[in-house]
């Protein structure tokens, strides 16, 4: 009954997509750190993006989608630079020089960048509670990783800090551009082309600079991490991210940057026996309170999308928990012969019933 009630929610698929982004990108930190421990960061980033981009392009080519022509390449090339060459490339490179906790703090600046950029782009303001929620959420991240605040003053981390800050800045502009101009091109096919272009470029840079290792020396655990990053984190989750970005306010989608570190902390506690200290619990509570304020205020003000009918206004833990249950149900489907992962086609059909249009020529 509850599942049918939630499925009838006008933004059900968009919120489901955002749940996926929050969860999967939250555990991506572990895979990224594992991979860069065994191979140069730029080589890993290039390989990850090249594999993911190739999977995208092969899939859409088999579906009969033609390559873009002429001016249609302009947004694709620009987003390839913003989202992947600069953002993903520098962020992965930065992990080599800073702690994971410091990287999580810098990554959480992303929603604040969006507010600053959007303030200069247009006159419309967010609700006051949304501003408070964004600041509160970032404050919660600072509490969670308070032990790493002193890392900002460590000169050994200076290069990593600069790389990571530039990466978040670039990702912010790429997100706004994707939101504003996604109607002029197929955003899903575009992701694959962006990754393929960026992966090729980063691979050429890494091999040209000599910062590479033979692929046959890469250990199995690193290949497992790269496979997760390429298929799960890049292919499936980027589909969910773009869908959420198209159907929800940009600032609401951006709060995934606050949830990701929380998921990472809880994952470490559940599966790696890491200690859940009172400071971590306090920080998680503050962060979730900030997310609650942003979500609630934006939904009430209807910022960025028209007010649909029969919207669920209940923000109780019961609905939040049920959303995570449906998230688990959506990733896998029970079949007579066991638990079978969904194909790209089924994954896409969850978020987009209408057929994808070809990139305009």
Instruction: List per-residue pLDDT tens for the chain, 361 residues long.
Output: 445 545 556 688 999 999 999 999 988 877 887 888 899 988 999 999 999 999 999 999 998 888 888 888 888 899 899 989 999 888 888 877 887 678 788 888 888 888 888 777 765 677 888 889 999 999 999 998 888 888 888 888 888 899 999 999 999 999 888 877 666 667 788 889 999 999 999 999 999 988 899 999 999 999 999 999 999 999 999 999 999 988 888 888 988 999 988 888 887 787 767 777 888 889 999 999 999 888 888 777 654 444 444 333 333 334 433 333 333 333 333 333 443 344 444 434 444 444 333 333 3
Q: Produce one character per residue of 59-74: b if its CB has 16 or more CB atoms within 10 Å, e if not.
A: bbeeeebeebeeebbe
Q: Which among 302, 171, 179 has a CA at the least distance from the CA of 250?
A: 179
Cβ neighbourhood burial of 94 (10 Å; 0-12, 13-18, 19+): buried
Neighbours of 26 (CB within 10 A): 20
pLDDT at 43: 92
Cβ neighbourhood burial of 283 (10 Å; 0-12, 13-18, 19+): buried
Tokens read off for 338? 């066991």
Contacts of 122-127 with CB under 8 Å at 24 or more apart are: 124/303, 126/251, 126/297, 126/298, 126/301, 126/303, 127/297, 127/298, 127/300, 127/301, 127/303
Tokens read off for 277? 């200290």
Adjacent-strand bridge partners of 335 = 338
CA distances from 98 to 28, 161, 284 (A): 16, 7, 22
Tokens read off for 112? 């604040």
pLDDT at 353: 40
For helices 278-301 and 128-144, angle between their N-to-C axes, nearest 10 degrees: 160
pLDDT at 297: 83
Distance, in Å, from the CA atom of 135 to the CA atom of 75, rounded to the nearest integer, reads: 32
Tokens read off for 28? 């991506």
pLDDT at 302: 53
CA distances from 99 to 105, 149, 150, 158, 220 (A): 10, 11, 11, 12, 24
Tokens read off for 331? 């990733």
Q: Where are the domains of the chain?
A: 2-351
Rg of the Cα atoms in the chain? 20
* CB contact at 8 A, 246 and 252: no
Q: How far apart are the first and last CA of the chain?
A: 46
pLDDT at 193: 93
pLDDT at 351: 40
């Amino acid at each position: 009954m509850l599942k049918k009630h939630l499925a009838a929610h006008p933004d059900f698929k968009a919120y489901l997509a955002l749940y996926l982004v929050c969860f999967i990108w939250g555990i991506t930190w572990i895979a990224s750190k594992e991979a860069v421990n065994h191979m140069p960061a730029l080589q890993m980033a290039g390989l990850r993006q090249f594999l993911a981009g190739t999977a995208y392009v092969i899939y859409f080519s088999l579906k009969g989608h033609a390559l873009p022509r002429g001016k249609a390449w302009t947004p694709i090339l620009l987003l390839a630079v913003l989202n992947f060459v600069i953002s993903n490339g520098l962020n992965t490179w930065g992990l080599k020089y800073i702690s994971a906790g410091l990287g999580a703090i810098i990554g959480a600046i992303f929603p604040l960048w969006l507010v600053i950029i959007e303030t200069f782009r247009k006159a419309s303001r967010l609700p006051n509670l949304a501003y408070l929620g964004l600041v509160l959420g970032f404050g919660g991240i600072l509490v969670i990783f308070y032990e790493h605040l002193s890392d900002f003053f460590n000169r050994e981390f200076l290069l990593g800090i600069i790389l990571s800050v530039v990466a978040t800045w670039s990702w912010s502009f790429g997100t706004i551009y994707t939101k504003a101009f996604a109607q002029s091109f197929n955003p899903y096919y575009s992701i694959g082309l962006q990754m393929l272009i960026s992966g090729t470029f980063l691979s050429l840079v890494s091999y040209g600079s000599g910062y590479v290792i033979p692929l046959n020396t890469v250990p199995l655990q690193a290949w497992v991490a790269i496979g997760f990053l390429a298929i799960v984190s890049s292919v499936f989750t980027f589909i969910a991210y773009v869908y959420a970005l198209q159907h929800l306010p940009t600032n609401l989608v951006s709060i995934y940057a606050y949830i990701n570190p929380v998921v990472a902390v809880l994952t470490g506690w559940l599966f790696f026996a890491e200690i859940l200290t009172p400071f971590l619990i306090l920080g998680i509570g503050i962060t979730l309170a900030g997310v609650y304020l942003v979500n609630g205020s934006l939904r009430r003000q209807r910022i960025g999308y028209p007010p649909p009918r029969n919207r669920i206004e209940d923000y109780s833990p019961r609905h939040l928990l049920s959303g995570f249950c449906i998230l688990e149900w959506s990733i896998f489907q029970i079949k007579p012969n066991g638990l079978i992962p969904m194909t790209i086609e089924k994954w896409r059909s969850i978020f987009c019933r209408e057929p994808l249009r070809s990139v305009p020529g």
